[in-house]
Structure 1
């Protein structure tokens, strides 16, 4: 049976932590589907525009050999719809979201992965601002 895994993220200022979590997500199944936050969604979550626009971030994620499908995530409230539309068997997210998506256990398995220590997009942006 083809296991379908879905995950979501902004993936701005792409770094090794993004690679690590996407590889872990891909290891759970046969097909990896990635929802990339729209520019508007990113602004609503973080109160700032992403460094790279959604089309650039989409292109980066599409280029990864272990990613099979990519789409723009327009709303956090539509997670259930996205999971059902893509017929995902597993929702995988970083553990900074631990417990936030447990309500989807009724339609798929929910897995949380530890984040890569000592790296985050926000920290990278703050360091670059200081240079």
Structure 2
């Protein structure tokens, strides 16, 4: 009997776009249950040096509404990733390849898989383009 796998991934998911959909759908294809950690507003500021466009509650609701997502939680700290992986009993951690190698340290508690990003799509690029279009 095949054991159903639990997948976990993390992200800010600000200015939600097709790249976000692609990675979440690909992650779900790896298992039966997809858990998504959405970065808190404070974590986003510490990672990117700016607040997100959409607040954490709105971003969580957007991600939670997707058919491929089974559970969403608020990620408060990058340093707690190992704890989150254990807490949600994840078999596989999925991250975009812009993080490649940075989470290999968790390969002792779960499989770590990096997916390529959707070419030409980036939240930062979208925000810059919108700013240019309206300036």
For Structure 1 versus Structure 2, the TM-score category normalised by the shorter chain is: over 0.9
Residue of structure 1 in register with 2:62 after alignment: 60
1 CA distance for matches of 2:130 and 2:107?
Answer: 39
Residue of structure 2 in register with 1:37 after alignment: 39
Unaligned runs of 5+ in 2: none
3-state SS in 1 of match to 2:25: helix
Shift of 1:32: 0.2
Q: Pick from 114, 123, 126 the counterpart of residue 124 of structure 1.
A: 126
2 CA distance for matches of 1:64 and 1:84?
Answer: 24
Q: Does 1:8 align with 2:4?
A: no
Q: Figure out how many residues of one structure are paired with residues of the other and give that number.
A: 131
Task: Provide, for residues 42-77 of structure 1, a one-character-per-residue CA deviation record: whole Å limited to 9, x for no partner.
Answer: 000000000000000000000001100000000000
1 CA distance for matches of 2:71 and 2:84?
Answer: 12
Residue of structure 2 in register with 1:50 after alignment: 52
Residue of structure 1 in register with 2:99 after alignment: 97
Shift of 1:83: 0.1
TM-score normalised per structure 1 = 0.99
Q: In the TM superposition, what are the counterparts of 1:69-84 in structure 2 within 5 Å?
A: 69-84=71-86
Unaligned runs of 5+ in 1: none
2 CA distance for matches of 1:53 and 1:41?
Answer: 12
Q: Moved runs in structure 1, 4+ residues, more than 3 A? A: none
Shift of 1:2: 1.7
Q: Does 1:20 align with 2:22?
A: yes
2 CA distance for matches of 1:42 and 1:57?
Answer: 12
Shift of 1:4: 0.2
3-state SS in 2 of match to 1:125: helix
